[in-house]
Structure 1
């Protein structure tokens, strides 16, 4: 995240440091998530037991089809969850041109949504979600990730690529906010937690080795402009 410029004095020269081009990663806990998760866990595990996995070479584990069918078989719990998600997306996005805001309003369309179940050995290869303004993941059950030994973390990659490390792998910027330049960050989520991030941000799931299913829901949101 971008921070305020930091003044650094060296000799008699004052240098102002301003980390720029931040990438937004929004995190929130869904309201009444324990009740929601109990229902979502039930319907997702029933679906896993009765339906074959969606074919996706990036995924080791079970996924439902990447479409809108989950809005039917996981209702009404999934619709309640998406209400929270769309509310946050609306609060954190605005129209660029102030003059247009009086004539049009911004709404969100769920482009696709699917469930994931990963057991011992499951993972997701690095990938983006092209064409979506916001992408996200909601954690129904974090499995055994909290022990720090079972993996399964969400891994986010520096969108600037690995160029800083390729040019000088033995150096890093003398600014704590930039120590992740050219690398990736692994986040350990908890049940009930939802993350929203730009669809262009490459992300992956580290190999999970827990014995309890890791259950998540991924989705993409597309913007729609409505006339006033």
Structure 2
């Protein structure tokens, strides 16, 4: 008798942020632009590092304190992350998963974010504030890819679970969560309008 099954699953959580509390995405978008305009340190960092557009990653650590809507976002994210941890069957003991950092990303036309992971965190993710037509999807990489030394390429149109890369196109108000070791990137934004998102990390504490 022949049996086949999938092993070593890589889980991706995809939901509406508002499933755990109403969030005004228009207010969130306006807040992102307001913060970006006032954040001179962040603007300088982006210029120095050649980051297209704007990110508050290296400049601001207190977004939930600055704008109440970010505090509401974090309250909702806490519940989404807790649900994902249950799905992952984490044994957290007497500790929990707590927000480590949260930051704004504004990618203009032509902007991109190269492949990376989030070291020292457990769960990472993004919620989407503006996704105009032509805005890039999130690209996820099979974590086994570096070990596939002599493997042939997959058939075009193969099952999603067997692909080397998976593209996920979220909508405004969606939240995506993944384990922080999963390599991912944001391909070039082909839209004339800004692609806006809020990303975050949770640690085990």
**TM-score under structure 2 length normalisation:** 0.83
Q: Indicate how the Cα distance of structure 1 residues 171 and 113 shifts in structure 2: closer, same or farther if over 3 A, else same.
A: closer
Deviation at residue 204 of structure 1 after TM alignment: 0.4
* Residue aligning to 2:76: 84
* Structure 1: distance between partners of 2:75 and 2:23: 15
* Residue aligning to 2:138: 154
State the structure with more CA Rg: 1
Task: For residues 157-176 of structure 1, give each alpha carbon's deviation from its aligned partner in whole angstroms, at most 9, with x where no partner exists.
Answer: 00112443x4133556xx83
Is the CA contact (8 Å cut-off) linking 2:17 and 2:23 kept in structure 1? Answer: no
* Residue aligning to 2:120: 131
Higher strand share: 1
Match of 1:112 among 101, 106, 120: 101
* Residue aligning to 1:22: 9
- For the residue of structure 2 that corresponds to 1:120, the secondary structure is coil
* Residue aligning to 2:188: 207
Match of 2:150 among 158, 167, 170: 167
* Structure 2: distance between partners of 1:127 and 1:78: 25
The alignment covers a number of residue pairs equal to 194
Deviation at residue 129 of structure 1 after TM alignment: 0.3
- For the residue of structure 1 that corresponds to 2:145, the secondary structure is coil
* Residue aligning to 2:159: 176
Is the CA contact (8 Å cut-off) linking 1:138 and 1:217 kept in structure 2? Answer: yes
Deviation at residue 142 of structure 1 after TM alignment: 0.9
* Structure 2: distance between partners of 1:49 and 1:21: 44
User: Which sections of structure 2, spanning at least 5 residues, go unmatched?
Assistant: none
Task: For residues 109-138 of structure 1, give each alpha carbon's deviation from its aligned partner in whole angstroms, at most 9, with x where no partner exists.
Answer: 211110010111010000000011100100
Q: Indicate how the Cα distance of structure 1 residues 205 and 17 shifts in structure 2: closer, same or farther if over 3 A, else same.
A: same
Task: For residues 57-99 of structure 1, give each alpha carbon's deviation from its aligned partner in whole angstroms, at most 9, with x where no partner exists.
Answer: 48432101345222222x21111111111112212325528xx
Is the CA contact (8 Å cut-off) linking 1:61 and 1:123 kept in structure 2? Answer: no
- For the residue of structure 2 that corresponds to 1:90, the secondary structure is helix
Q: Are 2:140 and 1:140 equivalent residues in the alignment?
A: no
Deviation at residue 177 of structure 1 after TM alignment: 5.4
Is the CA contact (8 Å cut-off) linking 1:34 and 1:192 kept in structure 2? Answer: no
Q: Are 2:38 and 1:50 equivalent residues in the alignment?
A: yes
User: Which sections of structure 1, spanning at least 5 residues, go unmatched?
Assistant: 1-13, 145-149
Higher helix share: 2
Is the CA contact (8 Å cut-off) linking 1:143 and 1:215 kept in structure 2? Answer: no
Q: Are 2:63 and 1:70 equivalent residues in the alignment?
A: yes
Q: Are 2:30 and 1:38 equivalent residues in the alignment?
A: no
Q: Indicate how the Cα distance of structure 1 residues 27 and 170 shifts in structure 2: closer, same or farther if over 3 A, else same.
A: closer
